[in-house]
């Protein structure tokens, strides 16, 4: 599964770093990942449904991005908030697989959406413009 994500990560990196200094490039890289959070969710759900772990999937996709954040404190702040949100959600997905408690899964999804709503202005303040209809 990791081999599938590498072309996506490389493409995001190339698109977000073109013509950017390293600081704004790092923020753009993180915010591009936020913009594609639904893809990360889908891969994590697929992993959990096939007997794997949603959390491991998030670690392998979103967590892997930490190597590209660098020393930019703004990008690191946004990234950490994003990663923590995705990890919390993925842990709840893994818990759901064991307990089948729909309420917990619904609450975790609502919390993730709330967290994404809080991250969006941070990305926009760093200069990122989200595509229309990205959610």
> Over the stretch 70-79, which tens digit does the pLDDT of each residue have?
777 899 999 9
Q: Answer yes or no: is 30 within a domain.
A: yes
CA atoms 102, 115, 77, 36: torsion sign: positive
User: Per residue in 61-104, pLDDT tens?
Assistant: 999 888 888 777 899 999 999 999 999 999 999 999 999 999 98
Please count the structural domains in the chain: 1
User: Is residue 14 predicted with pLDDT exceeding 70?
Assistant: no
What is the extent of the structural domain holding 119?
2-125
- Predicted local distance difference test score (pLDDT) of residue 34: 97
d(CA 126, CA 41): 24
CA distances from 35 to 61, 95, 98, 104 (A): 14, 26, 29, 25
Mean pLDDT of 52-64: 95
Q: Answer yes or no: is 130 within a domain.
A: no
Q: Answer yes or no: is 133 within a domain.
A: no
CA distances from 63 to 2, 20, 59, 133, 134 (A): 12, 23, 4, 25, 21
- Predicted local distance difference test score (pLDDT) of residue 24: 60
Q: Answer yes or no: is 7 within a domain.
A: yes
What is the average pLDDT value for the chain, to the nearest integer? 85
Count of CB atoms within 10 A of residue 15's CB?
A: 11
pLDDT: which is higher, 8 or 106: 106
pTM of the model: 0.80
Question: Which pair of tokens denotes residue 85?
Answer: 């949100």
The contacts of residue 87 (CB under 8 Å, 6+ apart) are 55, 58, 59, 62, 63
- Predicted local distance difference test score (pLDDT) of residue 6: 43
- Predicted local distance difference test score (pLDDT) of residue 116: 98
Residue 58: pLDDT band with limits 50, 70, 90: very high
């Amino acid at each position: 599964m990791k081999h599938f994500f590498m072309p996506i990560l490389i493409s995001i990196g190339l698109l977000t770093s073109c013509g950017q200094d390293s600081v704004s490039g790092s923020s753009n890289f993180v915010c591009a990942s936020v913009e594609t959070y639904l893809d990360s969710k889908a891969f994590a759900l697929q992993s959990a449904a096939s007997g794997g772990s949603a959390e491991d999937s998030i670690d392998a996709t979103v967590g892997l991005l930490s190597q590209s954040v660098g020393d930019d404190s703004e990008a690191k702040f946004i990234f950490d908030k994003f990663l923590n949100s995705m990890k919390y959600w993925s842990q709840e997905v893994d818990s759901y697989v064991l307990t089948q408690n729909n309420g917990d899964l619904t609450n975790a999804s609502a919390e993730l959406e709330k967290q994404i709503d809080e991250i969006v202005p941070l990305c926009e303040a760093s200069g990122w413009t989200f595509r229309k209809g990205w959610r």
